[in-house]
Amino acid sequence: MALFKKNNEITREDKTAKTDAADKENVINTADKVVKKVTIIGADCIIQGDIKLDGNIEVYGKIKGNITSGTFKVSVMDNGSIEGDVIAEHVSINGRLAGVCHARNIEILQKGVLNGVCRAEVFSINTGGVFVGQSEPYVKKANELNKEKKHHPDINSSGESNEMKIIKK
């Protein structure tokens, strides 16, 4: 409770009423925000089997199986390893990944090793990173193609434009 003096009058104000109203506003505001989910696989953890999740994942331990993370990020941290296929929006490798990696953006960091197939729109290897395998074109999924077709009706099923291209010789 606080006391205020105005024109020789003492006014009392109840702080709890104000804080309760502010707390209700914060709850409403946080409910509107998108909450990012991160799954962490600890350094002492070994998982055998496939993982499908709707959120980011950071792997400090070992996973023997496939990971499907949809439109989220898969991070193989220092000393972490994955033996299996990875499908995600973004893949960051600073540990070891052996298998097929399918993502819009794949980056191999300083201590990262990718042994297998890389399918990406953007593929980068930092100094010290190692890539052993083959790189293939990124193939868009059916739901991505449907979204693009709504905005650009001239896109065919392979993700290419149906517009005529003029090549000068």
Give tens-digit pLDDT for 52-78: 999 999 999 999 999 999 899 999 999
Could you tell me the two tokens for 85?
């296929």
63 and 81 co-located in one domain: yes
Q: What is the pLDDT of residue 140?
A: 76
pLDDT higher than 60, residue 89:
yes
In a domain, 61, yes or no: yes
Cβ-based neighbour number of residue 4 at 10 Å: 9
In a domain, 157, yes or no: no
Bigger pLDDT: 28 vs 83: 83
Residue type, 26: N
Residue 48 in contact with residue 83, Cβ under 8 Å? no
**pLDDT grade for 44, boundaries at 50, 70 and 90:** very high
- Domain count along the chain: 2
Bigger pLDDT: 131 vs 10: 131
Could you tell me the two tokens for 77?
């941290």
Mean pLDDT of the chain: 78
Give tens-digit pLDDT for 95-151: 999 999 999 999 999 999 999 999 999 999 999 999 999 999 988 765 554 555 555
Which residues contact residue 90 at a Cβ distance below 8 angstroms, ignoring those fewer than 6 apart?
72, 73, 74, 103, 104, 105, 106, 107
Q: What is the pLDDT of residue 37?
A: 86
What residue numbers bound the domain in which 27 lies? 2-32
pLDDT higher than 50, residue 19:
no
d(C-alpha 50, C-alpha 82), whole Å: 11
In a domain, 155, yes or no: no
Which residues contact residue 125 at a Cβ distance below 8 angstroms, ignoring those fewer than 6 apart?
107, 108, 131
Q: What is the pLDDT of residue 121?
A: 94
